[in-house]
Amino acid sequence: MKDIRFDNVTKSFPTRSGTPFVAIRDVSLAVAEREFVAVVGPSGSGKTTLMRMAAGLDHPSEGSVRVGGREVTAPGPDRAVVFQQFALFPWKTVRENIAFGLRCKGVPRARQDEIVAHYLKLMSMEGTEDRFPHQLSGGMQQRVAIARSYAIEPDVLLMDEPFGALDAQTRTVMQEELVRLTRKEPRTVLFITHAVDEAVYLADRVVVLARDPGRLREIIDIRPTREAEDWDSRPIDQVMDLASFTHLRTQVWRLLRDQIRPDD
Amino acid sequence: MHGLPQAEPTNATIRPGAAARRSPGWRISRRVRIGLASLIGTFALWWLLTDITGVIGPHRFPAPAEFWAAFVQIAIDGYAGGTLITQAWYSTRLVIMGFLVAIATGVPLGLLMGVSHRAEALLNPAFLLVRPIPPLAWIPLAIVWLGLGDAAKILVIWFAAFVPSVINTWTGVRGVDRTLIAAARVHGAGELRLLWEVIIPGSLPMMFTGLRLSLQASWTTLVAAELVGAFFGLGRVLDAAYRDINPPMIAVAMLAVGVLGALTTRLVAVAERRLIPWRS
Ligand SMILES: Nc1ncnc2c1ncn2[C@@H]1O[C@H](COP(=O)(O)OP(=O)(O)OP(=O)(O)O)[C@@H](O)[C@H]1O
Ligand SMILES: [Mg+2]
């Protein structure tokens, strides 16, 4: 397993006017091995940008991003990404999409089929393997994207609002499933979301970002409470009714609300 | 349980293609009907303007009967050195050869320019200079170099059809969704797999736009080149009929070019549908 370290990371983008636009300023954050960190923040606070740098799709303007102690220079299959816009290959069927990373790794065909079947079942999508993405609902597309990333069993999972397009019911199922999966086979996870509930339920720690420019606002430790009250062995709706849960959720929510200005 | 309607499993109710298979069939029959109506209407109008009212005189445009006579003449006895079939085949063969040479060179070059900024920087200036030259302007040079035979025709078609293939393939590659490229990379794809499984399929729709334009350019240029100088072909028939002041034969040759152009375009469309099955 590998950890992720952002050290004094600043990311600016060039603009037409010449003065660079600062998307992220001086963020330092360490995600330990097998730790699940959720990032919440208002739109435009640089969540996606942060994730792209960990993936090697963008590079910090200042500071460094390291995964497993090594400076990130390019994308690699040790860090699978679930994109905000699914990014399924439109010309590949569900089966081919899920198996894509496995083929890249040179996994034998028979084993690929097993893994694909396993995830189709897990995502309750049996029978859709020969469909193209455009023949699926948004929620189904998102599940395929998640399966494609899980399938390669990466050391680090980078997920950008992976449940954003799911209906409430599927979303709950997927959240429970993610808890089950990541507790059974813990991975280093950087999980981006808009939903405070989701962040508190899933994560060991919740990172709250502020915006203009995007920066670190607060980190809230969830894990001690979760372990003390044994959230993982309870169903999600029960957890969300616990006083300890609502307390943490309110705490995160306040930090977010404070930055919503009148012009929003 | 009885009495309750059994819900079918979703994958059986929305099996892909089941719905798609029905609607085009219905659409084609409707299209065929409209197409037939349009053809009959055109024919009636033609007949009306020539034979019935005489608005268009026989020296300008043939009446249906004259057209038919010219068609029979070239189909059976031949005209300008060959029957309709030989002349048409002669032109079609050159178009196909020129077109294939053009796309076999143009598509890879477009891919290269789309993928490599260095190749683009190197080739684009030359391209910008050559592109505005109308393809037909190459005909004299081609004839000077290679004479009136097949080689000159293929060269001219190549000049004409090459540019649309390159430009559209190149644009297609540039237009491939960046997130898909990122998705391929983060799941471990190397350069070759990226090209073959993401960039090429992603640019296929634009590539086919290019192929259609290339094919059209191939016919235009070939007919023009044959008009300028050729031993056989539909352009040669047009030229001979013009010299003989034979409007019915001109019309027959024009229609033949139209029909062949439509048929070859259809072939490209069929290939497109086969190669891009994921487009709804
Ligand atoms: N390639 C780019 N060029 C210029 N500006 C960019 C680029 N990518 C992101 N930005 C800017 O950086 C800021 C942060 O963007 P980012 O996509 O990381 O936000 P986010 O927190 O993921 O927002 P959302 O919740 O809406 O997805 C935004 O203001 C955005 O406009
Ligand atoms: Mg985002």
Question: Do A187 and A135 share a structural domain?
Answer: no
Instruction: Tell me whether residue A235 is in a domain.
Output: no
pLDDT at B16 over 50: no
DSSP class of residue A214 equals B
Ligand 1 centroid to B97 CA: how many Å?
50
Residue A162: C-alpha distances to residues A87, A149, A171, A252, B237 (Å): 11, 11, 10, 20, 65
- Quick check: B189 pLDDT over 50? yes
Same domain for A181 and A256? yes
**Shared-domain flag, residues A146 and A175:** no
* Contact yes or no for A38/A192 (Cβ under 8 A): yes
Distance (Å) from the C-alpha of residue B18 to the closest C-alpha of chain A? 12
Lowest mean pLDDT among A164-178, A190-204, B244-258: A164-178
Number of H helices, E strands in chain B: 12, 0
SS3 state of residue A77: coil
What is the CB < 6 Å shell around ligand 1?
A: A 13, 21, 23, 41, 43-49, 214
CA distance A58 to A47: 13
- Indicate whether A223 and A128 sit together in one domain: no
Residues A218 and A178 in one domain: yes
Q: Which ligand is nearest to the CA of A160?
A: 2
Number of domains in chain B: 1
Task: Please indicate, yes or no, if residue B93 is contained in any of the structural domains.
Answer: yes
A82-91, A239-248, B79-88, B143-152: segment of lowest average pLDDT: B143-152
* A24 Cα to the center of ligand 2, angstroms: 13
Banded pLDDT at B23 (limits 50, 70, 90):
low
Residue at a domain's end among A138, A153, A168: A153
Question: Is residue B209, in this structure, part of any structural domain at all?
Answer: yes
Residue B198: inside a domain, yes or no? Answer: no
CA-closest candidate to residue B212, choices B264, B140, B158? B264
Q: What are phi and psi of A205, to 5 degrees?
A: -140, 145
Q: Is the pLDDT of residue A206 over 60?
A: yes
Q: Quote the mean pLDDT of chain B.
A: 87
Could you list the residue range(s) of the whole structural domain that residue B168 is in?
Answer: 84-174+203-279
Q: Is residue A196 part of a domain?
A: yes
For residue A18, the model assigns a pLDDT of 86
* Spatial distance between the Cα atoms of A132 and B155, rounded to a whole number of angstroms: 41
Confidence (pLDDT) at B26:
60
Cα–Cα distance measured from residue B194 to residue B41, given in angstroms and rounded to the nearest whole number: 52
* Contact state of B188 with A77 under an 8 Å Cβ cutoff: yes
The pTM of the whole model exceeds 0.90: no
Q: How far is CA B75 from CA A152, B81, B93, B131, B249, in A?
A: 65, 12, 18, 39, 11
Please give the pLDDT value at position A11.
95
User: A179 and A208 share a domain?
Assistant: yes
The answer to whether B187 contacts A152, with C-beta atoms less than 8 Å apart, is yes
Residue whose C-alpha is closest to residue A151's, from A207, A237, A80, A204: A80
Task: Classify residue B217: in a domain, yes or no.
Answer: yes
| Strand order across the beta sheet in which A70-71 lies | A21-31, A4-13, A62-67, A70-71
Task: Name the amino acid, one letter, at A78.
Answer: D
With respect to residue A236, please indicate whether it lies within any of the assigned structural domains.
Answer: no
Question: Is the same domain home to A171 and A255?
Answer: yes
Report the residue among A45, A81, A211 best suited for mutation to probe ligand 1: largest number of ligand atoms under 8 A from its CB. Answer: A45
Q: Which residues of B touch A (CB under 8 A)?
A: 9-11, 14, 16, 177, 179-180, 182-190, 193, 197-198, 201-202, 204, 276-278, 280
Do A137 and A260 belong to one domain?
A: no
pLDDT interval class at A137 (50, 70, 90): confident
> Which class for B196: exposed (0-12), middle (13-18), buried (19 or more C-beta within 10 A)?
exposed
Q: Answer yes or no: do A11 and A35 share one domain.
A: yes
Contact assignment for B16 to A130 by CB distance below 8 Å = yes
* Count: domains in chain A: 2
Q: Which whole-number Å values give the CA distances from B56 to B59, B61, B67, B71, B196, in the listed order?
A: 8, 7, 14, 20, 57
Closest C-alpha to ligand 1, atom 16: A46
What is the CATH classification number for the domain harbouring A22? 3.40.50.300
Name the minimum distance, in Å, from the CA of A198 to any CA of chain B.
Answer: 24
CATH number, residue B209: 1.10.3720.10
Rounded to 5 degrees, what angle do the CA atoms A22, A27, A29 make?
155
Residues with Cβ < 8 Å from A233, sequence gap 6 or more?
Answer: none
What's the domain range around A261? 1-78+155-229+245-264
The interface pTM score, or ipTM, of the predicted complex is 0.85
